[in-house]
């Protein structure tokens, strides 16, 4: 009999550390410049374990960014704007873009978020999962018809180079993959932490616990440079495996 998710149990997953972003100064994890530059016709997927501290009333709290710091703001980004989690592809801000909105994940608790895009330039081509559960879109803007590739842009987690619009919270394991994930791939990762489509382009598992580098074990090996005011935290989605002392009765 085929196994269904209704009776499926999540395997033990051990995430040793997370990064704590204070939303002050230059608190980001920098991946480099022009790292991905996916075109609007390119399928790709982004995933991250996050624990928002609050929704920071206002706009532009960037979880991930790779777009220009000035008009037309061409590129791609994931951010929270007060009460919306946005997947955003931009040719020209506010006039030529694909913006797909979801309710944000809960505060003060870790959520595994995966957002997949099929390269169609449509809202129907975007899917988002929280802890393996497909989310319903709240709204969308579908006016994208031009390129979203611009060069000389910084690729960052936790912020953006254009302004002080930093995200506040904890970031655990995260990844970028140059493939569109399906529900089956999401299930394999959520339940078994298995990459059924193969090793992603970049995977930051946050195992270091100290220092200024978060290593990527993906095929792209784009290590993250952690800003000095971003700290390592032992508050994670799941705790490290540890031995439990047991007192056994003698056998007579």
Domains in the chain, CATH or no CATH each = 33-193 (2.60.120.200)
Alpha carbon of 228 to those of 80, 97, 210, 248: distances in Å?
Answer: 23, 34, 11, 48
From the list 36, 39, 125, the residue with the least C-alpha distance to 90 is: 39
Please give the Cα distance from 63 to 168 (Å, whole number). Answer: 9
Q: How confident is the model at residue 140 (pLDDT cuts 50, 70, 90)?
A: very high
From the list 189, 94, 77, 82, the residue with the least C-alpha distance to 141 is: 94
Please give the Cα distance from 169 to 167 (Å, whole number). Answer: 7
Would you say residue 248 has pLDDT above 60? no
pLDDT in tens, 192-206: 999 999 999 999 999
Mean pLDDT along residues 14-18: 80
Q: What local confidence, expressed as pLDDT, does residue 247 receive?
A: 56
pTM of the model: 0.89
Would you say residue 242 has pLDDT above 50? no
pLDDT in tens, 51-107: 988 776 666 789 999 999 999 999 999 999 888 999 999 999 999 999 999 999 998
Would you say residue 222 has pLDDT above 60? yes
Asked if the bond preceding 72 is cis, omega within 30° of 0, the reply is yes
Would you say residue 7 has pLDDT above 70? no
């Amino acid at each position: 009999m085929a196994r269904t998710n209704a009776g499926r149990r999540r395997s033990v997953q051990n995430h040793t550390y997370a990064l704590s972003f204070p939303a002050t100064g230059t608190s980001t994890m920098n991946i480099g410049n022009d790292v991905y530059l996916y075109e609007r016709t390119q399928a790709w997927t982004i995933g991250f374990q996050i624990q928002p501290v609050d929704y920071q009333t206002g706009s532009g709290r960037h979880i991930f960014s790779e777009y220009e710091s000035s008009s037309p703001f061409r590129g791609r980004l994931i951010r929270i704007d007060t009460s919306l989690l946005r997947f955003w592809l931009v040719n020209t801000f506010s006039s030529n873009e694909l913006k797909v909105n979801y309710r944000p994940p809960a505060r003060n608790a870790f959520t595994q978020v995966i957002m997949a895009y099929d390269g169609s330039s449509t809202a129907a081509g975007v899917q988002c999962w929280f802890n393996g559960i497909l989310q319903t879109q709240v709204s969308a803007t579908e006016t994208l018809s031009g390129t979203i590739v611009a060069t000389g842009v910084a690729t960052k987690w936790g912020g953006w180079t254009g302004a002080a619009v930093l995200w506040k919270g904890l970031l655990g394991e995260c990844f970028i993959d140059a493939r569109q994930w399906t529900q089956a791939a999401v299930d394999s990762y959520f339940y078994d932490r298995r990459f059924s489509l193969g090793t992603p382009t970049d995977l930051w598992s946050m195992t270091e616990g100290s220092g200024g580098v978060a290593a990527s074990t993906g095929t792209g090996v784009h290590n993250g440079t952690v800003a000095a005011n971003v700290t390592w935290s032992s508050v994670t989605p799941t705790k490290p495996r540890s031995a439990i002392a047991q007192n056994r009765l003698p056998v007579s």
